[in-house]
Amino acid sequence: MGNSGRDSPRLTRFALTLEFDGGPFMGLQRQAHGPSVQQAVEEAAKAVTGEKVTLHTCGRTDAGVHALAMRVHIDIAREIAPFRLMEALNAWLRPQPIAVLACEVKPDDWHARFSCIGRSYRYRIVNRRAPLTVDAGHAWQVKQPLDAAAMHRAAQVLVGNHDFTTFRSTNCQAQSPVKTLDRLEVTRDGEEITIIAEARSFLHHQVRSMVGCVVLVGLGRWSEAQLAAALAARDRQQLGLNAPPDGLYFTAAKYDGEGEN
């Protein structure tokens, strides 16, 4: 960012916090084969400012994955107050299920992706036989009884620094399959089971793949030892189950000098 020449306009970096329902989109990142959150926000920004902008994000989400607080940034030459930009973007984004929850000016060296030091996801499972109504498309329905306590115990096998090749999409573009998983917590509240995953960064499909295998433990189809063996195998063919995108939510991004957003 900044001036690329003497007559180049001064750009202001705006950090946005987005909430969106991933159901109608092919994912967060711009796609050639369908609508994306990135395309929608970039088109709204152009309508508001008259400028072609690029949306930089703190992470990626697949088709059907939701976000409660996805951190992104755009660079704009036009002088505009953060609140006015937020209001204008929200007006242009309607009726698409995308909302700008917050907007603030950041220094030139702040970057939504590269400055991010932690990411959090939540996965929702509704454990009941009756069909989903209000939660359809927003949670994974598992009809068979799940042992949430067994799921949590087994999940701790995955916490720490590991080679997560087994839990990595074959299309993952990360340079290394080694990641440090800081937290993988399973709790139950009535018929809803929540899984929280926290790390500095994740591999493509890592959270969904971990959730799928932990659910196999909850169903009694896998043991904790089998989950550990799948991890140790470092082989995608040993993955037991990849959870659907419906129940996955990006919930927070962490940056130095500020709380979770």
- Tokens 């508001």 belong to which residue? 48
Which residues make beta-bridge pairs with 105? 14
By residue count, the chain amounts to: 261
Which amino acid would we find at residue 217?
V
- Asked, as a colleague might, if the bond just before 35 is cis with ω within 30 of 0, I would say no
- Tokens 């063996």 belong to which residue? 229
Task: With H, G, I as helix, E, B as strand and everything else as coil, classify residue 214.
Answer: helix
156 close to 231: Cβ distance less than 8 angstroms = no
- Enzyme catalytic residues: 62
Closest residue by Cα to residue 23 from 70, 57, 65: 65
Residue 202, classified by CB atoms within 10 Å of its CB into exposed (0-12), middle (13-18) or buried (19+), is: buried
Task: With H, G, I as helix, E, B as strand and everything else as coil, classify residue 65.
Answer: coil
Closest residue by Cα to residue 19 from 64, 68, 86, 87: 68
